[in-house]
Structure 1
Amino acid sequence: MRRPLPLLAGLLLLATACTGVPGPDPKTTEEGRWRPAPGLGWQWQLSGRLDPTVDVPVYDIDGFDHPASTVADLHRRGRKVICYLSTGAWEDFRPDADDFPKTLLGKGNGWEGERWLDIRRTDLLGPLMAKRLDMCRDKGFDAVEPDNMDGYRNRTGFPLTAADQLRYNRLLASMAHDRGLAVGLKNDLDQIPKLLPDFDFAVNEQCAEYDECGRLAPFTAAGKAVFHVEYELTTDQFCPQARKLGLGSMRKRYELDAWREPC
């Protein structure tokens, strides 16, 4: 699961905002892909037993941990469902962990069992990520949240550049779209101006705490949702700004369990 690390939080971008919870969002692109609109309420749960009863139009859950039946149940409840995947870091607890060549594995990213990936090696990573995206599609997810999308801003053990990151992020977006999945930009605020056309929404943590929420305005201006959480601030500290910016915001615990406090 992905949460901001205390030592790296200044580099991790996650937008927070508080808005009222609109009804289900049926909007799709001309290609038939879901395109979430600004201000949608959401639930982000990556740990604990899933609570499917939260009255919001969007759920973001772990792609590996949940079967197709869970996605189908959420659909019956009127929810769109986002598939969480780590695409920029290797996790030793995933069922496909042994498929990753050791040459791809860099330094730890601060979470137990996780190491940055050499995103330059799209010849090796492309097929691995294709299988993961196939899993999301086959389970019936509507969208994907690829995590660890800003390795070039961190000490990965590889000389990654901004150009490397743009290339990799665009590849993931294209692969998701090829499978009929919407795709969200996680972190990587600096590259929003260049990546905005490639992504359907954004997922962000703690943009209010680090005074960065305004940098997500291009998404909402383009009619694209920003799903945002804060951990340290209270809702009265970040919700007013979130509402003005059109963010879909809530307060969560770092473990990203079922608890939430929406704006």
Structure 2
Amino acid sequence: MSRVLSRRSVVALTASTVIASFLTTACSGGGSSEEAPSSSQGTPAATGAPSGEPGGRPSQVTLPPVHAGIDYQLGGPSTPAPGVTVLARDHTAPPAQGSYNICYLNGFQAQPGAEKEWEADLLLRDQAGKVVMDKEWGEAMLDIHTEAKRKRIGQKLNTWIDECAAKGYQAVEADNYDTYTRAPDGLLTADDAKAFLSLLAAHAHEKGLAVGQKNTPELAPARKEVGADFAVAEECGQYNECGDYTAAFGDHVIVIEYTDSGMKTACRGWGDRISIVRRDKKLVPAGSVGHLRQTCGTS
């Protein structure tokens, strides 16, 4: 779970506003100015662990390059800064040409106000029959506790995955893998979460997309079981979790920090191995008030 406002900054954006933001910034040549990453950083063509390893990754799937220049653009797309070769954007946004693109999905919860887009029985309900909300973000939790419901929910998510592949993304990340930790009365379990991510991962792999595990370090050891190829970890430096991810994923870890202390910890411990960036908490596009993007060499 994101501990700050970051991933939710994309909630209010519709597909049209995201694309408009991208076109406006691209035409103006926007992007933060900074030194280019060192030559040791990867390129979009770099591959990950050997194909066909346990976890079901097919040979056509390519992992993000490690120790790369990255940006996390969930608040709206903008022209990548010099040296950026890996980008994460919302599934409603277009990918960036010439970069390795990761497609963000809210995989385990409905977006705020989007409950009506789901069939009523696919929303998790408590003993009184009320929809269970993630109160911090105002999102209804999806009911993934049975195989039948996981398949029905997966059908909707798979259409988004298909759109990601059709647009030219190379990978997907499904947010809120850790929803089960916030569900009351044991309504959801870790096994439910793993089963659902496995379903999504299998479909993504069929479409040639790599699969990123979003946060949830406690389930990192199960990454081969569920088919996760790399990790996207928010604030692992801030919360001393980076080692939990590298123990499972090796150097295939993408870190987003939001505080100076977290960034310093991540860079000091892992800056020569994995991809690390500091962003502003709302992830606003480059050129917007409040935009911040720093790397280990510039922070």
Is the Cα contact below 8 Å between 1:3 and 1:254 reproduced in 2? no
Counterparts in 2 of 1:232 and 1:156: CA distance versus 1, 3 Å: farther
| Partner of residue 233, structure 1 | 260
Other-structure match for 1:217: 246
Name 1:4's counterpart in structure 2.
3
User: Residue 235 of structure 2 corresponds to which residue in structure 1?
Assistant: 206
Question: Distance in 1 between the 2:184 and 2:233 partners?
Answer: 21
Deviation per residue, 1:182-221 (Å, 9 max, x gap): 1100122112112236112100011111111110123443
Provide the C-alpha distance between the structure 2 equivalents of 1:99 and 1:209, rounded to a whole number of angstroms.
Answer: 35
Matched to 1:88, the amino acid is F
Residue-pair matches, total:
236
Q: Is 1:119 paired with 2:144?
A: yes
- 1:34-72 deviation line (CA, Å, top 9, x unaligned): 112331221101114x221312111100112x2xxx32x
Asked whether the equivalents of residues 42 and 65 of structure 2 are also in contact (C-alpha less than 8 Å), the reply is: no
Aligned to 2:178: 150
Distance 1:117 1:262, change over 3 A: same
2:265 is the counterpart of 1:247: no
AA partner of residue 134 (structure 2) = N
Q: Secondary structure at the match of 2:177?
A: coil
- The alignment status of 1:35 with 2:54, answered yes or no, reads no
Q: Which has the higher contact order (CA 8 A, sep 6+)?
A: 1
CA gap of 1:112–1:210, structure 2 versus 1, over 3 A, is closer
- Could you tell me which of 69, 84, 101 is aligned with 2:119? 101
Counterpart residue number, 1:261: 294
User: Given that residues 133 and 176 in structure 1 are in contact (C-alpha distance below 8 angstroms), is that contact kept between their aligned partners in structure 2?
Assistant: yes
In the alignment, the residues of structure 2 paired with residue 134 and residue 46 of structure 1 have an alpha-carbon distance, to the nearest angstrom, of: 19
Query: 1:150 is aligned with what amino acid?
Result: D
d(CA) in 2 for partners of 1:82, 1:125: 21
Identity, in percent, stands at 29
- What is the aligned counterpart of 2:88 among 32, 38, 60? 60
How far the C-alpha of 1:155 sits from its partner, in A, is 2.4
Q: Deviations over 1:100-141 (max 9, x none)?
A: 112222322235542111122213212111111111111111
Alignment partners' CA distance in 1, 2:185 and 2:237: 30
Deviations 1:71-107 (A, max 9, x none): 2xx22xx21111111010101456xx64411222232
- Quick one: distance in 1 between partners of 2:117 and 2:234? 30
- Cα RMSD of the aligned pairs, angstroms, is 2.4
The separation in 2 between residues aligned to 1:52 and 1:230, in whole angstroms, is: 20
Residue 145 of structure 1: SS of its match in structure 2?
strand
Could you tell me which runs of 5 or more consecutive residues in structure 1 were left unpaired when the two chains were aligned: 7-18
- How far did residue 236 of structure 1 move? 3.2
Q: Take 2:152 and 2:101, find their aligned partners in 1: how far apart are those partners? A: 28
TM-score (norm: length of structure 2): 0.71
Q: Which position in structure 2 is the counterpart of 1:14?
A: none
Greater Cα offset, 105-114 or 116-125: 105-114
**Which letter does structure 1 place at the counterpart of 2:206?**
D
Structure with higher Rg: it is 2
Match of 1:15 in 2: none
Q: Indicate the structure with greater strand content.
A: 1
Segments ≥4 residues shifted beyond 6 Å: none
Of 165, 179, 196, 2:224 maps to 196
SS in structure 2 at match of 1:117: coil
Letter in 1 for 2:150: T
